[in-house]
A = this chain, B = another copy of it.
Amino acid sequence: MSIIVKKFGGSSVADTEKLLNVAHIITGAYDQGNSVVVVVSAQGDTTDELLQKAAEVNPNPSKREMDVLLSTGEQVSMSLLAMTIEKLGYPAVSLTGWQIGMKTNSNHSNARIKSVDIERIKKELDSNRIVIVAGFQGIDKYDDITTLGRGGSDTTAVAIAAALGADVCEIYTDVDGVYTADPRIVKNARKLNDVSYDEMLELASLGANVLHNRSVELALKYNVKLEVKSSFNKIPGTSVKEVGKVERMLVRGVTKDDDVARISVVNIEDTPGKAFKIFSLLAKKNINVDVILQSIGRGNTKDITFTVAESNLEAALEILNDNLSYIGAKSIEYTKDISKVSVVGAGMASNPGVAALMFEALYNEGINIHMISTSEIKISVLIDEDVSDTAVRAIHDKFNLA
């Protein structure tokens, strides 16, 4: 008998028909003698509706109260799913974040999991019940309700799988798995049967919206076997495995992320500590910085350029402009009309020709590269947003990924 954790996103539980579909998937696994724990997100547009309700009463509510409000979304979907499973004649029990002892820090709206007390889940599994758990939510040390931020339900699923020592954590989505590129952009994109944790991490953080990178990090750390599969098609998905066990390929996929803004801090005095000042200011505001590029000093000044998510641009500009003299810079420049396009693959670490091949594909399309960033298994370029789809297709062809 295996312990299986299954996670279903909001679109998979959006209405009565979809709940029934999901209930059949769950009871199918239960009928095979498995212990099944299910993690659910809020139904379809519920979160947006709750955000709208909040905006009506207060455009700037406290994050604590937002978490109290938003966490009801998962509580609704988990109870409806439990009822649907009961309707099929199976025993089910739904549990909230606090009921499963999902302890987090107090960073409301973007909390990190600290521990899971799985006694309650184990007790219910021992009673042969199907356990439905609210994703995305936890409690802090004050017993206040917290939420985990983007991709939070994936993280909940992996954390529970790790704590239970589950045999597999299956992430159900509305796509069939992880592709070599977004099938909406690249018609002949191919589904990957497996990827390594590192590759999945890069793909997740680069805008392949299948799995959130926090959940992949957690899966890697606790050696949780992950599978990404479709809620609607009964075909094999993509397995996330240790690097030695994945198919050998130079490049696994091409991704793009349009949610990128570039900020340049211009004419900074070329003295030590400047980068520290800039990035500690941003960290204080909880703003994640991605690609960083520092120009070689010209005379006694230099420029520091970096990218942030577009949603963080305004806050970043505000804190930097407020502290221009503290930083010792002349001005701040920025643009939003920019995309990040990346190739990912564990194979490229030992293949120096990958970057050249990628740049050639872009050159052939006449696409200008603004910034370049590389890691062991990834090369990213910043290019103009209006040519990002063209770039993805050109690179996908160049590496024969179809």
Given A62-B86, A83-B62, A143-B99, verify A68-B75 contact (CB < 8 Å). Answer: yes
Stretch at the interface among A49-57, A179-187, A315-323: A49-57
Majority secondary structure, A binding face: helix
**Nearest-neighbor residue (CB-CB) of A15 within chain B:** B56
Residues of B within 8 A of A53 (CB): 76, 80
A65 in the interface (beta carbon within 8 A)? yes
A122 in the interface (beta carbon within 8 A)? no
Residues of B within 8 A of A58 (CB): 83-84, 86-87
**Nearest-neighbor residue (CB-CB) of A53 within chain B:** B80
A64 in the interface (beta carbon within 8 A)? yes
| Separation of A86 and B143 alpha carbons in the complex (Å) | 21
Residues of B within 8 A of A71 (CB): 75
Verify B99–A83 contact, CB threshold 8 A: no
A168 in the interface (beta carbon within 8 A)? no
Verify B65–A83 contact, CB threshold 8 A: yes
Verify B72–A86 contact, CB threshold 8 A: no
Residues of B within 8 A of A72 (CB): 72, 75-76
| Separation of A54 and B71 alpha carbons in the complex (Å) | 19
Verify B54–A80 contact, CB threshold 8 A: yes
For A, the interface residue count at a CB cutoff of 8 angstroms equals: 38
Interface residues of A in 92-111 (CB under 8 A from B): 92-94, 96, 98-99
Can you list, as one digit per residue, whether each of A256-281 has a CB less than 8 Å from chain B (1) or not (0)? 00000000000000000000000000
Q: Determine how close the nearest CB of chain B comes to the CB of A131; give it in whole angstroms.
A: 13
A301 in the interface (beta carbon within 8 A)? no
Interface residues of A in 17-69 (CB under 8 A from B): 19-20, 50, 53-54, 56-58, 61-62, 64-66, 68-69
| Separation of A203 and B123 alpha carbons in the complex (Å) | 46
| Separation of A354 and B94 alpha carbons in the complex (Å) | 55
A120 in the interface (beta carbon within 8 A)? yes
Q: List 7 A–B pairs whose Cβ atoms lie within 8 Å, in order of A's numbering.
A: A16-B57, A20-B57, A54-B83, A58-B83, A62-B86, A65-B94, A68-B82
